[in-house]
Structure 1
Amino acid sequence: MGNSSRKGGGDEEDEGGKDGEEVEITEKKKEEEEVEVEEELPLGVEELFESGDPVLDLSYRKFKRLPSRVCGLMHLEKLYVCGNRLRTLPDSISQLQGLRILALDFNKMEEVPQAVCQLTNLTRLYLGSNRLMNLPPELSNLQSLRCLWVESNYFQRFPRELYDLPHLKSLQMGDNRLKTLPPDLCRMTALRGLWLYANRFEIFPKVLLHMEGLEILDMDRNKISEFPSLKRLRAMRLFSYDHNPVKAPPKVGDEVLVVGEGAAEFLEVREARKERLRKAAEKEAEELALAGEEPVIHGILKNSSSNSKQATNGDVATLGDKDVKEEEAKEEEEEGEEEDVELPVTEYDGAELEYDEQGVEYETEELIYEGDGFEYEGEELQYERAQMDYEYEELEDTGRQDEGA
């Protein structure tokens, strides 16, 4: 009995060992199959590798790992691997020192791969729609970076690591979980376009009033019930506040395009005022011409020599229209009611920015941001919104425009 029992026990042990070996073999086989599947390139990709083209688009190919051959393409300048299943990148990608644009949107990355932080010639990095909660300190190595998109991630705090990127002009942080901004954000003096839509702001961040170089600010889809006057932001060209619990836009400069509830009526009133002032100036000029006097336009004599002489005598020519004076007095009174904070005006550096919002698709090089998807198609970013035709040709680094192309 005892021997029989021991024999039976031995058989059980043998069977258990055999089962363990079978499981191990099965797991190895699965891993090998996965590797084989990943190394098996989709139709047409082989031709892309052999083309010698500096632009490589491997978007939406269902890659779980970046094909190893990519890291040997030293001629690459632009690499798009959006819409795959990547969780990281191989360390060998750091060899691609010629890369200027890297797009990793719509993957499954929980942290920025360290190898990416070694691509020191990057000017544009797209990390939207991943699973990021923070940025690594090593990101400061990307001293040439001008455009960073990290929208649709899980940021709960503003990444101060960005302070060490002196040339960053376009920052897309929409659709995250931000509630506040750090008070020293104004250290980012190069910033021209800032997207903060669909976050969790309930109060307008006061630090933004000190961001003197901002030209585009998007605060759509937050919970802000009151906006301060933005007239001090002299460089501002577009402010979007749609889908916030307010019924009217804040006070802005005359050149600012506003988008949101009540904005259309506001713009109509502003245009009507401009037209009234223009007609008043024309009428004044006509009356002065009939009277044989030098016509004046907004306090400046048309005749430059007369103007010079009058300036020498200390006389100031003014527009004698009552409505104009009342309007100016009203504006001065409004200005006096604003915060007693004087912000110096910085001179715009001549970069180029286009804003357009509608959908986004990926093609090859240009990213158009419009809602739910992305599209690569050329060299620049257009941020377009329905019923809005706005194009500001001064800030070149917002979106996917490639200055070198």
Structure 2
Amino acid sequence: MGNSSRKGEEEEEDEGGEDGEEEKATKREKEVVEEVELPLGVEELLESGDPVLDLSYHKFKRLPLRVCELMHLEKLYVCGNRLHTVPDSLSQLQRLRTLALDFNKLDDIPLAVCELTNLTHLYVGSNRLMTLPPEFTNLKNLRCFWMESNYFQRFPRELYDLPNLKSLQMGDNRLKALPPDFCRMASLKGLWLYGNRFETFPKVLLHMESLEILDFDRNKITELPSLKRLRPLHLFSYDHNPVMEPPKVGEEVILVGEGAAEFMEVREARKERRRKPAEQEAEELAQAEEERVIHGILKNSNSKLLGDEAAVNMEDSDVKEEETSIKEEVQEECVELPVTECDGADLEYDEAIIEYETEEILYEGEGFEYEGERLEYENIPMDYEYEDGEELEDTGGQDQGA
């Protein structure tokens, strides 16, 4: 009996084992079938080689395994599907910078996602998340994390270890407060906390001096402190809160909420009143500067004209002096010699001398033909210049003797 019972048990175990193997095989076949039967157009997307792959709203229950083989991917969008998790092999896609998993059915952040250490943008909104895994701190390069429309009741401290996080979207969760050491997130520039359960404004935010965008819409805050110390703040939204008046903010901050429109109108009118005198003063200064420049130009022009006139006057005086000196010289040359009475013979002799001098002057000119043996004789030695100087001198002596 005992042996037969054991034998029966063994047979049952064998049958159970066989059934288990069959179930596993059936499951594998089902996965293969699901893997093969891809929606229309997805095959082309997988083979495109594009670094951006968008598989959103295809009703995937499992992410196609072929996606995890696309090592070139940099951006992957699988929003609006029915994913409860992702394959472990997704961690191979180390070139991924952006991963969008929002509008799925995730209960936790998959560990494969926490191994994508080069991620800069991660979107997990509209899932079923309540906490973050400790491994989430591996995402040191994360700059933008959107986790809106989940079920967080406490702020996840894992985010403290993300030094580059600048944009944090936590709207539509169940937060009532922020931890006192929230100011450790000094790099934050944008913080969305709309649709939570805040009844008082978290004072720790007054120490977040890098914030540029702060959204507290749809909470239960009744009073707002002055936000003037948040100097980089550009937008503060507090719409749909039971507050009576807007907070005090810097001159350039845009407000959205109860009384914000009237407040900004008054502020703009005040700025306009200040702006007009400033513009008028600037215009007067510009006009004075323009006049100064014009006067300077005119002054320089007048100086130049005066200088030119002085130069002309100096030139005129020089010309006049030169004309005067020329006149004086001419007058000196034109001085009449005293008249002398001479005899006829002497007078004839003088005429001969005058004729002789005239011939000498004519000889000095160029392009004239001269008469007389003496002048023709003197032209001959020019052809032998510097060849027989002594003979030239002797010939000249003979001519004088003749």
- Shared fold, TM over 0.5: yes
1:37 aligns with 2:34: yes
Tell me the alpha carbon deviations over residues 73-98 of structure 1, each in whole angstroms, 9 at most, x when there is no partner.
00000000000000111110000000
AA in 2 matched with 1:46: E
Please give the secondary structure, in 1, of the residue aligned with 2:168: strand
Q: Are 1:268 and 2:265 counterparts?
A: yes
Contact 2:35 2:65 in 1 (8 A): no
Distance 1:26 1:91, change over 3 A: closer
Partner of 1:50: 47
In the alignment, which residue of structure 1 is the partner of 2:227? 230
What is the Cα deviation at residue 261 of structure 1? 1.7
Gap regions ≥5 residues in structure 2: 1-14, 290-402
Q: Distance in 2 between matches of 1:39 and 1:244?
A: 52
TM-score, normalised on structure 1?
A: 0.63
Q: Provide the residue aligned with 2:177 in structure 1.
A: 180
In structure 2, the partner of 1:117 is: 114
Counterpart AA for 1:78: K
For 1:122, the aligned partner's letter is L
Contact 1:38–1:63 at 8 Å: present in 2 too? Answer: no
Match of 2:139 in 1: 142
Q: What is the DSSP-based 3-state SS (H/G/I as helix, E as strand, rest coil) of the residue aligned with 2:150?
A: coil
Query: CA–CA distance in 2 between the matches of 1:214 and 1:263?
Result: 20
Identity %: 77
> Could you say if the C-alpha distance between residues 106 and 288 of structure 1 is closer, same or farther in structure 2, counting changes exceeding 3 Å?
closer
AA at the equivalent of 2:129: L
User: Are the structure 2 counterparts of residues 120 and 289 from structure 1 closer, same or farther at C-alpha, using a change threshold of 3 Å?
Assistant: closer
The separation in 1 between residues aligned to 2:283 and 2:48, in whole angstroms, is: 69
- Displacement after TM superposition at 1:262 (Å): 1.1
Contact preservation (8 Å) 1:214, 1:236: yes
Change (3 A) 1:278 1:54: same
The one-letter code matched in structure 2 to 1:77 is E
Query: Which residue in the other structure is 1:376 paired with?
Result: none
Contact kept, 8 Å, 2:63 with 2:83, in 1: the verdict is yes
Distance 1:59 1:287, change over 3 A: closer
| Counterpart pick for 1:161 among 158, 163, 167 | 158
Alpha-carbon displacement from aligned partner over 1:133-158 (angstroms, at most 9, x marks no partner):
01111111111100000000000000
Deviations 1:143-194 (A, max 9, x none): 1100000000000000110000000000000000000000111111110000
1:253 aligns with 2:226: no
2-side partners of 1:143 and 1:23: how far apart? 43
Query: How far, CA to CA, are the matches of 1:84 and 1:289 in structure 2?
Result: 64
> Mind listing any 5+ residue stretches in structure 1 that lack a counterpart?
1-17, 295-405
- For residue 214 of structure 2, give the secondary structure of its aligned residue in structure 1: strand
Shift of 1:53: 0.4
> Partners in 2 of 1:76 and 1:26 — Cα distance?
35
2:193 aligns with 196
Contact 1:38 1:64 in 2 (8 A): no
Q: Which of 78, 81, 91 in structure 2 is aligned with 1:81?
A: 78
Return the letter of the residue paired with 2:218.
R
Contact 2:188 2:210 in 1 (8 A): yes
Match for residue 212 of structure 1? 209
Answer yes or no: is the 8 Å Cα contact 1:180–1:205 preserved in 2: yes
Matched, 1:151 2:159: no
SS of structure 2 residue aligned to 1:190: coil
Report the TM-score when normalising by structure 2. 0.64
Asked which structure has the greater CA Rg, the reply is 2
Corresponding residue number in structure 2 for 1:107: 104
After TM superposition, give the deviation of residue 280 of structure 1 in Å: 3.5
